[in-house]
Amino acid sequence: MALLRGVDPAKDQSYVLSSLTQRELRYLVFPLGGLGKAEVRRIAAGMGLRTAAKPDSLDVCFVASTEGRKGFLSRFIELQAARIVDVETGEAAGEIEAMELVTVGQRKGLGLNAGGRESSGTREAGRDSGRRYVLSLDVHAREVVVGSSSRARERGLIAGQVTWMDAPRCAGEQVLVQTSAHGRVRAAVLTEGSGPSIMMLEYDCPEQLVAPGQTAALYSVECPEEVIGSGVVERGVR
């Protein structure tokens, strides 16, 4: 059986389902896979269902809008403040309330600006020449390392917890990779060292950093709508 993208790109869930295998797929039916959301709403209205006009869910369903990610996480873990360090200068560039809310590759929400001046609760720092992206997180040192866009790029990634829709693909094979639910698809090749439980990908050209823990969903080059496997990102290769 094959797992394909839904006909509605805005609601496509193939990325989320990319870790499934033939063992699970044989029991699944996706009755709405061939319908767009507008058509589903029309059918629901015709059946008198009260959810026909229910607003779309655009965020994490189990995180209440009144508390946000910060409120949700603080119920389970203690959030730690951290200092922001600019790798270009080696100097402190400010502080952030909770490093648990920061992810590799992030640019917005750090309270930094192009001049390095105090903004959104961040202390004044040395002069800066441009936008800064999160390059790495050091939980033990409580440091968020930031740098320029040129540093926030990688040649590929290494992923574990690999699953395949069919037989594992071979090193040297071209694939398409997507690293967020509705993110851009990137061309890549499986490099030497890829195997049943680990995969190494090299992009056709350097791409923006991907945070460890993200799913890397693979699609076929011959049929870009078809999921062929997935893995959980362990680290980037720069």
- Contact yes or no for 145/133 (Cβ under 8 A): no
Q: What's the order of all strands across the beta sheet hosting 82-86?
A: 92-96, 82-86, 143-147, 133-138
Give dist(CA 118, CA 121) in Å, integer: 7
- Where residue 48 falls (left for φ over 0; alpha for ψ -120 to 50; beta otherwise) is left
Q: Which residues of 176-188 are buried (b: 16+ CB within 10 A; e: fewer)?
A: bbbbeeeeeebeb
Q: What is the pTM of this model?
A: 0.83
- Contact yes or no for 80/95 (Cβ under 8 A): no
Output the pLDDT for position 129.
53
Output the pLDDT for position 119.
44
Output the pLDDT for position 24.
93
Range(s) of the chain covered by CATH 2.40.30.10: 153-237
Cα 220 to the center of its chain, rounded Å: 19
- Contact yes or no for 187/203 (Cβ under 8 A): yes
Paired strand residues for 216: 231
Output the pLDDT for position 80.
92
Q: Which CATH number fits domain 153-237: 3.40.225.10, 2.40.70.10, 1.10.645.10, 2.40.30.10?
A: 2.40.30.10
Q: For each successive 10 residues of the chain (238 residues), what is the average pLDDT? A: 89 93 92 88 95 82 80 91 91 90 91 50 46 92 93 95 90 95 94 82 94 96 96 93
Output the pLDDT for position 113.
46
